Chains A and B, each alone.
Chain A
């Protein structure tokens, strides 16, 4: 069993998928509006199991990523439990994400490229926090509560996390790759809970999980030699909610299931383009060594 848990493939797919399924389900039972918090919770559990519980105060960017994510999870869960939404929720998310990015990035700001990278990351964070529809896009769908239909934003998160994970894997940063793929698997677990019937709201907890993908991208871009610029190609995945409006909305259970699957596939396409670009830039080397 312990040998199985040591397997990097299990650590970044099966384990976080199971953790996500269990935690989303458990939080659903506790309070339905908290279900999306299961994504970040699943990510943190897998982080602690695979990389270990980082020290406090954390000496490295990965440790900061963990604790910043933990704070985000608490903020998201508290806001969703209290029913905080709208501009207040966006402001809370923006402050948390910007502070976390600055905390992580500070030791790496030794060049113009690093500063530009941070500005791009802060811009992405602002999109996650304030972009029209980031909280409620696709809200015309399903029977969810507390913050809109979850399929499109969860598909956006799945795509961003896959893009970070795939790019990191190609760029020889295995632990970032594993954690990003774990986040993607945890988002996948949430999507499974909401397919074919949407059961949960996305809320601030879901948006915090998307913020964690941005933090992972920050660690990858600022502390490794990976071709992280290709992640810009994955940003259109954030528009999944808008894309959904142009896709045919099916009637009945099968129609809704097909519609949700189509949104997910469309969202993941930019991530595949980004991973393809990273692969091409490394000269088509599939395995680092």
Chain B
């Protein structure tokens, strides 16, 4: 009887151990602002492309290494932190013509779905809220690396995302289409285990 119980316990332990990785708990990370960049490229009257970024970005990532599709990304951006390396233009970008930062101080992205398209690539679906308007967007995402960072000694995950949004979809119509309607997004994120 004792032998039977031991065998059952051993089997159960082995079986649980075998399936455990499939139920690995998703890990919560906080976005590391020092190693995160949200940049954009917009066409300027067909002469050139202006590059800008937001200097204040925060958020969290719930990363499930074994089921990436179950990961969740929430990002918040301070619109007043827009920076195109030109003070007057940045003042204009904060005005009601563009980001209307006084009235809409935050821009948010909440993921709704992640599709895996390759070993390290996927499509990040989510809702982008800007100027009080929420629209679905899809970003191409690359999972770069996760593990202990040799610099910070902290558990870190990193990914890159690229995509395009139409600013007029969010009611940002000033100057379009001379000042490009399609905004290219370049996002680089490092998130640290919280």
Interface residues of A (CB under 8 A from B): 6, 51-52, 55, 59-62, 107-108, 171-176, 219, 222-225, 285, 288-289
Check A175–B97 contact: CB distance below 8 A.
yes
The list of the 4 closest CB pairs from A to B, nearest first, reads A59-B132, A172-B92, A289-B88, A173-B95
B109 → chain A closest CB, angstroms: 18
B89 → chain A closest CB, angstroms: 5
B43 → chain A closest CB, angstroms: 15
Check B92–A173 contact: CB distance below 8 A.
yes
CA distance A107 to B89 in the complex (A): 24
Check A60–B171 contact: CB distance below 8 A.
yes
Check A288–B88 contact: CB distance below 8 A.
yes
Check A175–B96 contact: CB distance below 8 A.
yes
| Residues on the B chain within 8 Å of A219, using CB | 96
Contact A60 B131, CB 8 Å, known A51-B173, A52-B173, A175-B97:
yes
What is the 8 Å Cβ interface bit string for chain B, positions 151-194, against chain A (1 contact, 0 not)? 00000000000000000000101110010000000000000000
A interface secondary structure, majority: loop
B58 → chain A closest CB, angstroms: 21
What are 19 A-B pairs with beta-carbon distances under 8 A? Answer: A51-B174, A55-B171, A59-B133, A60-B103, A60-B171, A107-B102, A172-B91, A173-B95, A173-B97, A176-B95, A223-B95, A223-B100, A224-B95, A224-B96, A225-B91, A225-B94, A288-B89, A288-B92, A289-B92
What is the 8 Å Cβ interface bit string for chain B, positions 50-92, against chain A (1 contact, 0 not)? 0000000000000000000000000000000000001011011
| Residues on the A chain within 8 Å of B97, using CB | 173-176
Chain A residue nearest in CB terms to B178: A6
Check B171–A59 contact: CB distance below 8 A.
yes
Besides A225-B95, A288-B88, 16 new A-B residue pairs in contact (Cβ under 8 A), listed by A number: A51-B173, A60-B100, A60-B132, A107-B102, A107-B103, A171-B91, A172-B95, A173-B92, A174-B175, A175-B97, A176-B97, A224-B95, A225-B91, A225-B94, A288-B89, A289-B88
CA distance A51 to B172 in the complex (A): 9
| Residues on the B chain within 8 Å of A176, using CB | 95-97
A179 → chain B closest CB, angstroms: 10
B105 → chain A closest CB, angstroms: 10
Chain A residue nearest in CB terms to B91: A172
Chain A residue nearest in CB terms to B89: A289
Check A173–B173 contact: CB distance below 8 A.
no
| Residues on the A chain within 8 Å of B104, using CB | 60
CA distance A223 to B102 in the complex (A): 6
| Residues on the A chain within 8 Å of B174, using CB | 51, 174-175
| Residues on the B chain within 8 Å of A285, using CB | 88
A258 → chain B closest CB, angstroms: 41
Check A174–B100 contact: CB distance below 8 A.
no
A169 → chain B closest CB, angstroms: 11
CA distance A225 to B92 in the complex (A): 9
Partner of A62, one of B92, B94, B96, B102: B96
Contact A172 B88, CB 8 Å, known A6-B178, A59-B133, A60-B131:
yes
Contact A108 B173, CB 8 Å, known A173-B92, A225-B94:
no
Chain A residue nearest in CB terms to B100: A60
| Residues on the B chain within 8 Å of A173, using CB | 92, 95-97
